[in-house]
Chains A and B, each alone.
Chain A
Amino acid sequence: MITQSLVNRLALGAALVVGACTVAQAQDSGPLIDALVRKGILTDQEGEELRTELVRDFGYTSPGKVDVATAVTRLRIVGDARVRYQYDNEQPNPTGSATDATRLTGDRDRNRFRYRLRFGMTADLGPKWSASFRMETANGATSTNADLGSATDNFSKDTDNVYFGQVYINYKDIGVLGSDAIDVRVGKLPHKFYTPGVNGFWIDTDVNFEGAAEEIVYNDVGLQGSFLSLRAGQFILNNNAANAGSLSRTGTTTSGGTTTATIGNTSISPSLLWMAQLEYATKTWKVAPTFVVFAAPSDHDRAVTFSYPAAATPAQIATARRAAYATAQASDTANYSDLTTFLLPAEYMFAVGGKPMAVYATYGYNFDGEERARRLANSASADDESHLYNVGVRYGENRLAGDYQLVGEYRYVGNGSYSSLLLDSDFNAGLLNGEGFILSGIYSFTDAITGTITYFNSFNIEQDRILGASRGNGFGQAQVLQIDLSAKF
């Protein structure tokens, strides 16, 4: 005969086993215990003892030993590792061209063995807020690669550094301004702009912006299943706090009736990068008109050295100082204002042989292209080339083991069209004044392990472009072959 006591013991034992088996079950045993109590199989007291015992047992497991702040509602740990073989071949422009004196010299072959690690965490702090960080190997804005064998001694670690690539706070909500979703992030952040092309084309996928970014999404606008996304970014380009100098006049000397003085800058503020994008996407096509604009700081000057007559009045001294500031401001390399590029990325998606296929393209034009081309060339007569574009075809996608993707793309970037600060750094070394093609293939060995082969081949658009900026006229030709093995975790 089965007694009530025996039933209770069996239920206790079963619940203990169920609860103790796995972490998740231990955490989820509350409703089960509640149900057993409600049905009278366990008493309230037995339920509480069982609950405490399960929690205590969980504490002896590995996850149970990790103490996470109570404010954290979910903690996600993500990362990826990649090893790469890279071959670079860089050839100069033809000897005897107008740029010969300062062109990039030599025909260089490089065999490089590289790795990268990106490792980060996101702590959800309730349903709307989260805080994230990501650490990355390498300190460049457009690369996370570290070179094997680059240390000062064999196998030493002095070049194996880790940097914070992302540190940001994120707010997500629904219903704001009648929207279906909003996303606001502040800090050193990953962006959400739509940038079709290998490595993001006009925003290198390694770039983490610094500042604030917002996205607001409306569903089913016009067409069923469509999305209308408005995105904006206000990013700090150059914090001139680094240029802060003493406000006091220093090094004042008087000679031959002329006084020369040096004075620090009196106001400090950053140049900004403004971005705005309006994306309309359906299941088969999307288009996203975009503006990318550099904005000079509204109130910023430089430390200057200026001269004035030894007998000058205070007003005359101030005039001399303002004139010197104006001159310094005009040549301030941190003072960008010649990028007002309109971009129109678009994509059409369909299926071929049961796999997704897409044709994508971007056209861009810098309304300040001439000014930019001339500033970069340091010449008032340099011609401008204000256009950039890409056209590509993508076939397949990588989600599960056995999946593959093939991409072919052609790219053109005029010398005044855009900024090498943002361009994909693997194509033409991220320089302006280049065109060429990219071929890429990705294969998924497992759901998490992929192999990638990418070939970039670019040429200078103008071989004899007048020089002035660093890295001159770019390469006559630049070829890059990358063979990657990547693991996501």
Chain B
Amino acid sequence: MKKLLILATALLATVVTASAQKLVIKGSDTLGAKLVPMLAEEYKASNPGTSFEIAAEGSTTGITAITTSTAQIGMSSRRAKATEVSAAAAKGVQLKPLIVCFDGMAVIVHKDSPISDLTKRQVEQLFTGDVTDWSAVGGTPGSISIYTRNTSSGTYSDWKDLAMKKRDYASSSQKMAGNEQIVSEVANNPNGIGYVGLAYTKEPGIKVISIEGHLPGKKEILEKTYPYARPNFYYTNGEPSGEAAKFIEFTLSPTGQAIVEKVGFISAVK
């Protein structure tokens, strides 16, 4: 009888283990800090047998995790680089991107600044240091203070690509740890300028600048009329399958995309 009980217990444990699905997701801090954990919680509510391991340590780690098969889904706030795609292909891994949401980067100045609109050329001149006084772009005379993300941030390099024609930042630019710090500095400096994610544009003390007449709204980003926007991705090895496919499907569902917008991103589904 005792042996029968042990056998039954072992059998039960095996069945439970087999039915419990663990989804490993690694990568971008932009996605992994809030959005994906919230999606995972909601997903678990209707899929109680699923557990998650989420590691938000940067986009590079997400793409590497797919290449090394240590995660089913890689999160990335940037496109995979050519070298990453090639390195994956060399290992027989076919990186497949899936747009999860869009993220706009807003140019902000102090709330009292007379500047309300800039051209893309002026934005490039401001952040590269080609112009150093606000009077050069129609503002109140004063030395321009530039606030950027720090060099380890993917957003730091994305901004160079999107807004600065890949040129270097002005040597006088000040590197901030995150969006909150940039908002804080600009709100306290009438000569300040910086860029932040859309989720931070409602903070007090700052003003969002339109670019050639376009503010960073959902419509402008989806219609590509606002220039400083980027997609955020899930990466998988080829077509996703199993629990990963179900989670991706959930992410793109109306429920998932509602969470996307709640967190402050733009839905990828029109």
Residues of A within 8 A of B (CB): 34, 37-38, 44-45, 48-49, 51-52, 55-56, 58-60, 64-65, 67, 70, 126-127
Is there a chain A Cβ closer than 8 Å to B89's Cβ?
yes
Residues of A within 8 A of B17 (CB): none
Is there a chain A Cβ closer than 8 Å to B189's Cβ?
no
A59 and B233 contacting across the interface, CB-CB below 8 Å: no
B80 and A52 contacting across the interface, CB-CB below 8 Å: yes
Is there a chain A Cβ closer than 8 Å to B111's Cβ?
no
List the count of A-B residue pairs having beta carbons below 8 Å apart.
Answer: 52
11 contacts between A and B (CB under 8 A): A44-B99, A45-B98, A48-B98, A48-B233, A51-B79, A52-B80, A52-B96, A56-B95, A59-B85, A70-B81, A127-B168
Q: A38-B224, A45-B99 are in contact. Are A55 and B231 (CB under 8 A)?
A: no
Residue ID in chain A nearest B84 by CB atoms: A55
With A56-B89, A58-B82, A58-B86 already in contact, 6 other A-B pairs whose C-beta atoms are closer than 8 Å: A38-B224, A45-B99, A52-B95, A52-B97, A59-B82, A67-B86
Residue ID in chain A nearest B223 by CB atoms: A38
A178–B51 CA distance with the chains assembled, in angstroms: 64
Is there a chain A Cβ closer than 8 Å to B262's Cβ?
no
A60–B89 CA distance with the chains assembled, in angstroms: 9
B80 and A64 contacting across the interface, CB-CB below 8 Å: no
Q: A38-B224, A44-B268, A48-B233 are in contact. Are A70 and B95 (CB under 8 A)?
A: no
Residue ID in chain A nearest B94 by CB atoms: A56
A49 and B82 contacting across the interface, CB-CB below 8 Å: no
Residues of A within 8 A of B152 (CB): none
Most buried by B among A49, A59, A127: A59
Residue ID in chain A nearest B83 by CB atoms: A67
A44–B99 CA distance with the chains assembled, in angstroms: 8
Residues of B within 8 A of A44 (CB): 99, 231, 268
Residues of B within 8 A of A126 (CB): 168
Most buried by B among A45, A49, A60: A45
Instruction: Map CB proximity to A onto B92-107 as digits: 1 under 8 Å, 0 otherwise.
Output: 0011111100000000
B85 and A127 contacting across the interface, CB-CB below 8 Å: no
The smallest beta-carbon distance between B14 and chain A, in angstroms, is: 39
Q: How many chain-B residues does the 8 Å CB contact rule pick out?
A: 21
A176–B160 CA distance with the chains assembled, in angstroms: 24
Residues of A within 8 A of B95 (CB): 52, 56
The smallest beta-carbon distance between A88 and chain B, in angstroms, is: 53
B224 and A48 contacting across the interface, CB-CB below 8 Å: no
Main secondary structure of the interface of B (DSSP, over half): mixed
The smallest beta-carbon distance between A130 and chain B, in angstroms, is: 15
The smallest beta-carbon distance between B169 and chain A, in angstroms, is: 12
Is there a chain A Cβ closer than 8 Å to B167's Cβ?
yes
A222–B88 CA distance with the chains assembled, in angstroms: 59
A45–B81 CA distance with the chains assembled, in angstroms: 17
B167-201 interface with A by 8 A CB criterion? 167-168
A34–B161 CA distance with the chains assembled, in angstroms: 14
B99 and A127 contacting across the interface, CB-CB below 8 Å: no
Residues of B within 8 A of A70 (CB): 81, 83
A168–B81 CA distance with the chains assembled, in angstroms: 30
The smallest beta-carbon distance between B74 and chain A, in angstroms, is: 13
Most buried by A among B94, B96, B224, B233: B224
A37–B99 CA distance with the chains assembled, in angstroms: 14
Most buried by B among A52, A60, A65: A52
Residue ID in chain B nearest A27 by CB atoms: B82
The smallest beta-carbon distance between B172 and chain A, in angstroms, is: 15
Residue ID in chain B nearest A45 by CB atoms: B99
The smallest beta-carbon distance between A30 and chain B, in angstroms, is: 9
The smallest beta-carbon distance between B63 and chain A, in angstroms, is: 11
Q: A55-B85, A56-B85, A127-B167 are in contact. Are A49 and B96 (CB under 8 A)?
A: yes
Partner of A64, one of B86, B99, B224: B86
B85 and A48 contacting across the interface, CB-CB below 8 Å: no
B97 and A55 contacting across the interface, CB-CB below 8 Å: no
Residues of A within 8 A of B268 (CB): 44-45
The smallest beta-carbon distance between B99 and chain A, in angstroms, is: 5
A37–B225 CA distance with the chains assembled, in angstroms: 12
B86 and A55 contacting across the interface, CB-CB below 8 Å: yes
A52–B224 CA distance with the chains assembled, in angstroms: 20
A235–B98 CA distance with the chains assembled, in angstroms: 57
Residues of B within 8 A of A65 (CB): 86
A34–B86 CA distance with the chains assembled, in angstroms: 22
A56 and B86 contacting across the interface, CB-CB below 8 Å: yes
Residue ID in chain B nearest A48 by CB atoms: B97
Residue ID in chain B nearest A37 by CB atoms: B224
Residues of B within 8 A of A58 (CB): 82, 86
Most buried by B among A37, A44, A60, A67: A44
A58–B81 CA distance with the chains assembled, in angstroms: 12
The smallest beta-carbon distance between A58 and chain B, in angstroms, is: 7
B99 and A48 contacting across the interface, CB-CB below 8 Å: yes
A52–B88 CA distance with the chains assembled, in angstroms: 12
A48 and B79 contacting across the interface, CB-CB below 8 Å: yes
Partner of B85, one of A34, A45, A52, A67: A52
A48–B235 CA distance with the chains assembled, in angstroms: 11
Residue ID in chain A nearest B97 by CB atoms: A48
A37–B223 CA distance with the chains assembled, in angstroms: 9
